[in-house]
Chains A and B, each alone.
Chain A
Amino acid sequence: MALPIKQVRATEVGDLISVTIVGGYLGAGKTTLVNHILANADQRVAVMVNDFGEVNIDADLIRSRDGDTISLANGCICCSMVDGFGAALQTITEAPVRPERLVIEASGVGYPGQIAGYAHTPGLKLDGVVVVVDAETIRANLRSEYIGDVVRQQCVEADLIVLNKVDLVANPDAVEKAVRKVADVSVVQARSAHIPLGVLIGLDRSGLEPSGAPRSAQDRFRTWMQEFPDPVDRLSFLADLGSASDVLRAKGTVRFSEDPNTFFDVHVVGKRVTLTQSDRPWPTPRLVYIGLRTT
């Protein structure tokens, strides 16, 4: 029998908190990824984890600890879901300083797409679903009688797959190919879940300013900008985005020729494209992309 959980509401009107779900089977590296986010975030990120047990937060970083919540010196908070999803969500949405982003760790056998449903709670908006996959074990896991269907479904529900531990396999590209056969999803290879945060959880607003030059100049990734001074055709715009295989994320504002006076915010994670009518458009419509450097 399932126990009910309490509903959560945003307590103050303001920016919606952008929610990224991190899924993936046991051992894929979700916790490493969470640790990486907490240690390197330069935005106020809240993370909901199943259990503090494996989260490894540098003692120097911890500002305070209160039951199920750890506050970090860099403004991030980490909250355990031991008391239930609803309680953790409430702690975060009612935090004295609201986080800009929320990362929710799905259970190793959970379906992250289902959790994404919670991102429609008032006060939140969905960023995307990131699924971490262990390059060493994924092929065996996909064949497993017990968990093959689960791992497959997790991949299918991803907007972005982090193919982790590629340093431990001889031919990462072959593994990536096997994963792509399962799910037609953007894949990023990684070691120790080390991926620029802009790719994992998105750029903050300042990252969209032209002066806010690419933050992640790390070799494999690049960011670039495209301006759309004139309204564009909606269908071909969407088609172009969908076929841009090097784009992992994009964010910005455009106008469509069918309705040139309305600005739309564009949010792209992998193949997921979300358009919402903009209330704070940029003076010059533009998109900022993060993608893989093609060699």
Chain B
Amino acid sequence: MTEETIIYPARKVITMNPAFPEGQAVAVRGDRVLGVGTVDELAGWGDHTIDDRFADKVILPGFIEAHTHVMAGGVWQFPYVGFFDRRDPDGKLWQGSTSIDEVVDRLIEQESMMGDPSEPLIAWGLDPIYMPGERLVAKHLDRVSTDRPIFVYHASGHLGTVNTAMLERSEITEHNQTPGVVKDPDGQPNGELQEPAAMMLATSAFERLVVAIGSQEAKWGYANEAKNTGQTLITDLGTTRVNDPSQVEAWREVTEDPTYPARVMLAGSSMFGGEQDPDKLAAIVNDLKQEQSPKLRFGIIKIVLDGSIQGFTARVSWPYYFNPPEGHPGNGLWLVPPDQVADIVTAHHKAGLTVHAHCNGDQTAQVFIDAVETALERHPRWDHRHTVQHCQLTTPAQYRQMAALGMNANIFSNHIYYWGDQHRDFTVGPERAARMDACATALREGVKFSIHSDSPITPMGHLHTAWCAVNRLTATGEVLGPDERIDVQDALEAITINAAYQLKLDHDMGSIEAGKLADFAILEDDPLAVEPAALKDIGVWGTVVGGVAHQAGTSN
């Protein structure tokens, strides 16, 4: 044995291995776990070093986030103007901006730090849904600057608001007929640009956003946010084009750096210019799987079938939306014709891959579940683990069908906190809101599930997603659907071993057991002992990835 054995005594090791649920220490050799037990028991492995740095910490398996996007790291190259407090990848806490005045003040402060006055100021995260009353428009942003063009990207990704300087630079005038250029009663553009056709008029801002999202800094920011909140494996669900060798190479470059603090799984996808032909895409992913490395993984396919519930663009079943905005067409958008889904799923299914389908609405979930059933009829195959992603309005009957077909769910539990009030009052109404993101139903019906943040849509951090699943508190502090709450133990399984299972990594990750990778979340407190309401407030020291410790950025 050339590799050193290190024993980490801890306040407690929670293994998520039901056959050996906890220990007082964990021994690591190289990048793997040698064993869990007492220090004395582990000393039986021979020569070792005792490393006391986690002696007062609680060690869990590294959290596994099966639904995030790398742009989570890119957006932080711009100032944040969202409603909720949010921590950036460096650990700095950005106070939420809860009114137009606070947004403007934040931007004034940022503007004062910028040089070249022609360089646009870009900010992100604005969500007007939380700021009832007056809407942020150009005249507010003009208080920040009348010279420097400003672009504020909304949290939804569907809207942008610009100042007069940006309107002028982009030649957006009262004559502009592009739909989505919102105008005030006297016909002048008011600064709000809705949907890409209008947003793309603000070229200078867009080009910078695209560059930021594809940058290496974005990849580092993405992994740093994972490290700060306890994730050791994060999944970029369809943002990277795996058919573009230069993009995959850029990932190899960062993940091969020993200091890069996370493992990343890249999903194959036809979005954003990915390979359109499902058979070819599957072949590309299978090739990449052959060449995967310890911190860069492949094997899953992401497809997107509908929009979002809060944007009223998810496909929901009768009785459709509860209180939609005026002019709403009645139901959401399909992003793929429903009649095509079975063929796409079959192509990947036949190739041995796992399909992860974004389905926010229940109508969408049904189309996907039926497509999996068709794929299974055409090509029987065991252990596919096809997963309904978001799975927000999935019904009990659908969960039963999923269980019968061997499917998984990845439930968007953070929605309960961030948009639960809106779902109850506007999107689907009280009853369906109470059964949204139904972790207890999944459990009862025997569907293995994980939970997720969809970062950057909501902040990455599995103690928060678990807290949501356990407490189901909305932003205004109300419990939404108490009967769908689950135990802390079940929530911890969702963010560790079950998430690993969903990604077919459970042989190697998701629990602390002899032989598995030494991937840990290092916590300041015991999630099984604290009040469930305090789950999200447990401090995270950092992570260990393949035996290498990565300390969380310090907060200030």
- Identify the A interface with B (CB < 8 A): 1-8, 25-27, 50-51, 53, 82-87, 107-109, 114, 117-118, 120-122, 145-147, 149-150, 153
Contact between B337 and A26 (Cβ–Cβ < 8 Å)? yes
Interchain Cβ contacts under 8 Å between A and B, 19 examples: A2-B196, A3-B210, A5-B196, A6-B203, A7-B201, A26-B339, A27-B339, A50-B276, A82-B274, A84-B272, A86-B200, A108-B340, A109-B334, A109-B336, A114-B179, A146-B315, A147-B337, A149-B329, A153-B329
Contact between A120 and B210 (Cβ–Cβ < 8 Å)? no
| Bound complex: CA A7 to CA B179 (Å) | 15
Minimum CB–CB distance from B250 to chain A (whole Å) comes to 17
| Bound complex: CA A7 to CA B170 (Å) | 10
Which of A4, A6, A114 has the most C-beta atoms of chain B within 10 angstroms of its own C-beta? A4
* B210: A residues at CB distance < 8 A: 3-4, 6
| Bound complex: CA A149 to CA B179 (Å) | 22
* B335: A residues at CB distance < 8 A: 109
Considering the complex, give the chain A residue whose CB is closest to the CB of B338: A146
Considering the complex, give the chain B residue whose CB is closest to the CB of A148: B331
Known contacts A7-B206, A109-B334; A82/B273 CB under 8 A: yes
Known contacts A4-B210, A6-B206, A109-B333; A117/B367 CB under 8 A: no
Considering the complex, give the chain B residue whose CB is closest to the CB of A137: B339
* A1: B residues at CB distance < 8 A: 69, 71, 157, 456-457
Known contacts A25-B337, A114-B179, A147-B337; A4/B276 CB under 8 A: no
Contact between B178 and A108 (Cβ–Cβ < 8 Å)? no
- Identify the B interface with A (CB < 8 A): 69, 71, 157-158, 170-171, 176-180, 195-203, 206-207, 209-210, 213, 239, 272-274, 276-277, 315, 317-318, 329-331, 333-340, 363, 367, 456-457
A-B pairs with the 6 shortest C-beta distances? A117-B179, A7-B203, A109-B334, A26-B337, A120-B177, A4-B206
* B367: A residues at CB distance < 8 A: 146
| Bound complex: CA A53 to CA B347 (Å) | 15
Known contacts A4-B206, A6-B207, A7-B201; A117/B178 CB under 8 A: yes
Supplied contacts A26-B337, A109-B336, A147-B339, 15 more A-B pairs, CB within 8 Å: A1-B456, A1-B457, A2-B196, A5-B206, A6-B200, A6-B206, A7-B200, A53-B276, A107-B337, A114-B197, A117-B198, A145-B363, A146-B315, A146-B363, A147-B334
Say what secondary structure dominates the interface of chain B.
loop
| Bound complex: CA A27 to CA B338 (Å) | 12
| Bound complex: CA A118 to CA B199 (Å) | 11
Minimum CB–CB distance from B170 to chain A (whole Å) comes to 8
* B329: A residues at CB distance < 8 A: 149, 153
Contact between A4 and B69 (Cβ–Cβ < 8 Å)? no
| Bound complex: CA A108 to CA B179 (Å) | 21
* B71: A residues at CB distance < 8 A: 1, 3
Minimum CB–CB distance from A104 to chain B (whole Å) comes to 12
* B177: A residues at CB distance < 8 A: 120
Contact between A121 and B178 (Cβ–Cβ < 8 Å)? yes
Minimum CB–CB distance from A289 to chain B (whole Å) comes to 26
| Bound complex: CA A120 to CA B272 (Å) | 23
Minimum CB–CB distance from B213 to chain A (whole Å) comes to 7
Contact between A84 and B206 (Cβ–Cβ < 8 Å)? no
Known contacts A7-B201, A84-B273, A150-B334; A2/B180 CB under 8 A: no
* A121: B residues at CB distance < 8 A: 178, 197
| Bound complex: CA A102 to CA B419 (Å) | 41
Minimum CB–CB distance from B152 to chain A (whole Å) comes to 13
Contact between B197 and A117 (Cβ–Cβ < 8 Å)? yes
Contact between B180 and A117 (Cβ–Cβ < 8 Å)? yes
* B315: A residues at CB distance < 8 A: 146
Known contacts A7-B200, A7-B206; A120/B176 CB under 8 A: yes
Contact between B272 and A3 (Cβ–Cβ < 8 Å)? yes
* B179: A residues at CB distance < 8 A: 114, 117, 120
| Bound complex: CA A147 to CA B341 (Å) | 13
Contact between B202 and A7 (Cβ–Cβ < 8 Å)? yes
| Bound complex: CA A118 to CA B333 (Å) | 19
Considering the complex, give the chain A residue whose CB is closest to the CB of B155: A1
Contact between A85 and B206 (Cβ–Cβ < 8 Å)? no
Contact between B276 and A82 (Cβ–Cβ < 8 Å)? yes
| Bound complex: CA A166 to CA B209 (Å) | 48
| Bound complex: CA A26 to CA B274 (Å) | 20
Contact between A26 and B340 (Cβ–Cβ < 8 Å)? yes
Minimum CB–CB distance from A247 to chain B (whole Å) comes to 25
Minimum CB–CB distance from A153 to chain B (whole Å) comes to 6
| Bound complex: CA A25 to CA B210 (Å) | 31
* B176: A residues at CB distance < 8 A: 120
Contacting residue for A147 out of B158, B170, B338, CB 8 A: B338
Considering the complex, give the chain A residue whose CB is closest to the CB of B320: A149
Minimum CB–CB distance from A216 to chain B (whole Å) comes to 31
| Bound complex: CA A82 to CA B331 (Å) | 26
Minimum CB–CB distance from B30 to chain A (whole Å) comes to 38
| Bound complex: CA A146 to CA B365 (Å) | 12
* A25: B residues at CB distance < 8 A: 337
* A26: B residues at CB distance < 8 A: 337, 339-340
Which of B209, B239, B333 has the most C-beta atoms of chain A within 10 angstroms of its own C-beta? B333
* A2: B residues at CB distance < 8 A: 157-158, 196
Contacting residue for B273 out of A7, A83, A118, A147, CB 8 A: A83
Contact between B338 and A5 (Cβ–Cβ < 8 Å)? no
Considering the complex, give the chain B residue whose CB is closest to the CB of A25: B337
Contact between A109 and B276 (Cβ–Cβ < 8 Å)? no
| Bound complex: CA A87 to CA B457 (Å) | 26
| Bound complex: CA A2 to CA B178 (Å) | 19
* A50: B residues at CB distance < 8 A: 276
* B338: A residues at CB distance < 8 A: 109, 146-147
| Bound complex: CA A84 to CA B335 (Å) | 14
Contact between B457 and A108 (Cβ–Cβ < 8 Å)? no
Minimum CB–CB distance from A15 to chain B (whole Å) comes to 18
Contacting residue for A118 out of B197, B274, B331, B336, CB 8 A: B197
Considering the complex, give the chain B residue whose CB is closest to the CB of A84: B273
| Bound complex: CA A6 to CA B179 (Å) | 17
Minimum CB–CB distance from B169 to chain A (whole Å) comes to 11
| Bound complex: CA A25 to CA B334 (Å) | 11
Known contacts A82-B276, A114-B179, A120-B178; A108/B203 CB under 8 A: no
* A107: B residues at CB distance < 8 A: 337
Considering the complex, give the chain A residue whose CB is closest to the CB of B333: A109
Considering the complex, give the chain B residue whose CB is closest to the CB of A3: B272
Considering the complex, give the chain A residue whose CB is closest to the CB of B277: A53
Minimum CB–CB distance from B116 to chain A (whole Å) comes to 21
Minimum CB–CB distance from B549 to chain A (whole Å) comes to 32
Which of B71, B200, B203 has the most C-beta atoms of chain A within 10 angstroms of its own C-beta? B200
Minimum CB–CB distance from B316 to chain A (whole Å) comes to 11
* A145: B residues at CB distance < 8 A: 317-318, 363
Considering the complex, give the chain B residue whose CB is closest to the CB of A2: B157
| Bound complex: CA A5 to CA B193 (Å) | 13
Contact between A5 and B337 (Cβ–Cβ < 8 Å)? no
Considering the complex, give the chain A residue whose CB is closest to the CB of B202: A7
Contact between A109 and B196 (Cβ–Cβ < 8 Å)? no
| Bound complex: CA A26 to CA B456 (Å) | 33
Known contacts A83-B273, A149-B329, A153-B329; A108/B337 CB under 8 A: yes
Contact between B206 and A149 (Cβ–Cβ < 8 Å)? no
Considering the complex, give the chain A residue whose CB is closest to the CB of B330: A149
* B336: A residues at CB distance < 8 A: 109
Which of A1, A83, A121, A147 has the most C-beta atoms of chain B within 10 angstroms of its own C-beta? A1
| Bound complex: CA A51 to CA B277 (Å) | 9
* A147: B residues at CB distance < 8 A: 334, 337-339
